[in-house]
Amino acid sequence: MHLLGSEIFQNAFLAGTIVALVAAPVGYFLVLRAHAFAGEALKDIGFAGATGAVLLGISSIVGMVAVSLVAAIGLGFLSRRMRGRDVEVGMVLSFALGLGVLFLSIWSHSSAAHASAGVNILFGSMLSIGRSDLLVALGGAVLVAATLAVIYRPLLFASIDPAVAEARGVPTRLLSMAFMLLLGITTASSVLVVGVLLVAALLVAPAAAAANFTRSPRGAILVAALISVGATWIGLALAFVPLGRHLPVGFTISALSAIAYLVSAALGRGGLRVGLPLHPSREVGQTEALPD
């Protein structure tokens, strides 16, 4: 009861739950659209924005959100032109990551406190989340959830069969840009929990595991939410008991998420393909079923 009454625990618990819940649907579409590389891109570019912001005396979360949104718009607009240009994109991402390391190095050398804060950006620090960070996470989650609720059906259609969706007048490019914006916001919010280096633990692993368990999109999103919230709660709880006191919360969350995926891969029937709707017409209004 004393632990539950602690403001540190309350902030960490609420922020972790919020981020885990919003990461589930975004992660599902990330896996369904095979955009895991885009998530890595936003993570690297957002890292440069976060470290550059702290050098200017601005909140790292604000800097990461701002830069991630700009990058998301560019990735969404250039999604087709980027195909087959992995080398060029990889070079840009490497430069962005190196720029973030440079900013972090300059900032960390100014004081020991800055060095500790820099480590928190990389690996997350749920136990240092304040009320202002909690409000940022909550605002981003509400925005992402509301937008996904509006575009869910056309986004699902465009993710399953983009060619047919475009032929039927679905604005696939606009949806791609909108999803990238949502991904940017979610990625920035996830840094609060697991840090820049482990964002994929909340975005990709639970959704990939859920897609192995069920064919239903709504069912997969629900299972992904259960996995990510469960991993977050267990990781947070272990941080307050002697058994796991020396384990970083981000590591525990990523490890549990990876274990969930390995279990799902062993129990699933055919890998990620079972995550596609068996009858897409029930979800997106199509008349044709997906080919096997």
Question: How confident is the model at residue 140, as a pLDDT?
Answer: 82
Question: How confident is the model at residue 267, as a pLDDT?
Answer: 82
Q: Flag whether 1 is in a domain.
A: no
- Number of domains into which the chain is organized: 1
Q: Flag whether 85 is in a domain.
A: yes
Long-range contacts of range 73-80, CB-CB < 8 Å, 24 or more positions apart? 73/177, 73/180, 73/181, 75/38, 75/41, 75/42, 75/180, 76/173, 76/176, 76/177, 76/178, 76/179, 76/180, 76/181, 77/173, 77/177, 79/173, 79/176, 79/180
Question: How confident is the model at residue 94, as a pLDDT?
Answer: 72
Q: Flag whether 205 is in a domain.
A: yes
Which amino acid is it at 85? Answer: R
Question: How confident is the model at residue 116, as a pLDDT?
Answer: 57
Question: In whole angstroms, what is the distance from residue 40 CA to residue 101 CA?
Answer: 16
Question: In whole angstroms, what is the distance from residue 268 CA to residue 261 CA?
Answer: 10
CATH number of the domain residue 151 falls in = 1.10.3470.10
Q: Flag whether 150 is in a domain.
A: yes
Q: Flag whether 289 is in a domain.
A: no
Q: Flag whether 227 is in a domain.
A: yes
Which positions of the chain have pLDDT values less than 70? 1-6, 37-39, 59-60, 75-92, 108-128, 192-198, 242-246, 268-292
Q: Flag whether 216 is in a domain.
A: yes
Structural domain containing residue 107: 7-284
Question: How confident is the model at residue 127, as a pLDDT?
Answer: 64
Q: Flag whether 135 is in a domain.
A: yes
Which amino acid is it at 241? Answer: V
